[in-house]
Amino acid sequence: MSSKKKEHQANEPVQPEATVEPSNESPLGTECENELRATIDRLQRLQAEFENYKKRSLRDASVFRERIGDQIILDFLPLYDNLQRAFMSLSSNHDVETFISGVEQIFAQFQQVLEGKGVTPIGVVNQSFDPSLHEAMLSVESDLEKNKIVEEFMPGYTRDERVLRPSRVSVSQGPALHEENPK
């Protein structure tokens, strides 16, 4: 290059090289934007579906609990009806023996309903005290060995091996140690 050309180039303002700006209309940009919009739309729909699913699940669980409660009530209504009949019979006939017989039958029916639900009483007297099954109300001296159940104050029940209510019991401290008193 000649020196004049160099001077001329040195004195000229430097112009930046032309840059290629991405056009909003380029096929690649439009395709990416469309894909992004479609993905956002799918995610929003999925989120809305999930929210609806949660609401529906809560509603279904509530209905399920209500139906279970209804079924339990239906199982006990015959017992209620029979008790009502027994009391009506007693008030009209004054026959106590028939009334007692009727109540005994209702009690047996009640036991059948509980057994049908998987409810069983916890056996206690002369058993060893188990804090997972029993609630000690008293500790007493007795002829039984230590930690044996002496008396049941309120029965306990299990259902499918889960304790519904522990038995309330008195527990033996063991035989009393008697000191002999010399006379």
On the question of pLDDT at 108 being above 90, the answer is yes
Res 143: pLDDT: 87
pLDDT tens, position by position, 132-180: 999 999 999 888 889 999 999 999 999 998 999 999 999 998 887 655 5
Structure tokens at 93: 């006939």
Closest CA to 162 of 116, 120, 130: 120
Q: Which amino acid is at 67?
A: R
The pairing of beta strand 167-174 with beta strand 134-141: parallel
On the question of pLDDT at 120 being above 90, the answer is yes
**DSSP conformation letters of 72-112:** HHHHHHHHHHHHHHHHHHHHHH--HHHHHHHHHHHHHHHHH
Contact 169, 152 (CB under 8 A): yes
| Dist CA 181 CA 59 (whole Å) | 75
Contact 136, 170 (CB under 8 A): yes
Structure tokens at 91: 């008030």
pLDDT tens, position by position, 66-98: 999 999 899 999 999 999 988 888 888 888 888
Domains along the sequence of the chain with CATH:
32-117 (3.90.20.20), 119-176 (2.30.22.10)
Indicate the SS3 state at residue 180. coil
Phi/psi class of residue 15: alpha, beta or left (left: φ > 0; alpha: ψ in -120 to 50)?
A: beta
Beta strands in 8-128 (DSSP E): 119-121
pLDDT level of residue 38 (50, 70, 90 thresholds): very high
| Dist CA 99 CA 86 (whole Å) | 6
Looking at the chain, the whole-number percentage of residues with pLDDT higher than 70 is: 82
